[in-house]
C-alpha cells in the first residue's frame, strides 16, 4: 500500500471523526481542495453523495462526503485515528 500524503490523512481523519460525513464546504474550509476529495473517492477511500438541503427557505445542492471501510482501514494502517 502506498503511503498516505499528509493531506489525504488529514482529510480522512476529519471524515472518520464525523459520524454523518462532512459537506464539501467544511472540507474546503479546512483547506482540503475538491481535487483531493475527488482523489479519495476515486481511490475508494471516501464516497460523495449529492443531496438537496433547504437553507433559509432556499433549496440548494450540497455534497456529503463520507469515509468508507477501505478508508478507515487505510487510515488505521497509516497510523491515523
57: its cell numbers: 427557505
**pLDDT on residue 80:** 57
CB burial class (10 A; 0-12, 13-18, 19+) of residue 15? buried
| CATH code matching the domain that covers 6-77, chosen among 1.10.10.10, 3.30.70.20, 3.40.50.720, 1.10.3720.10 | 1.10.10.10
Q: pLDDT confidence of 2, banded at 50, 70, 90?
A: low
Query: Above 70 in pLDDT, residue 39?
Result: yes
Q: pLDDT confidence of 46, banded at 50, 70, 90?
A: very high
pTM above 0.75, yes or no: yes
Q: pLDDT tens digits, residue range 52-65?
A: 989 899 999 999 99
With beta carbons less than 8 A apart as the criterion, state whether 67 and 4 touch: no
Amino acid at each position: 500500500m502506498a503511503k498516505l500524503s499528509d493531506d489525504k490523512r488529514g482529510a480522512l481523519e476529519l471524515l472518520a471523526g464525523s459520524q454523518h460525513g462532512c459537506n464539501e464546504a467544511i472540507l474546503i474550509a479546512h483547506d482540503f481542495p475538491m481535487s483531493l476529495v475527488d482523489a479519495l473517492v476515486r481511490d475508494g477511500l471516501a464516497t460523495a453523495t449529492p443531496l438537496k438541503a433547504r437553507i433559509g427557505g432556499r433549496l440548494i445542492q450540497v455534497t456529503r462526503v463520507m469515509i468508507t471501510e477501505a478508508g478507515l482501514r487505510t487510515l488505521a494502517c497509516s497510523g491515523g485515528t
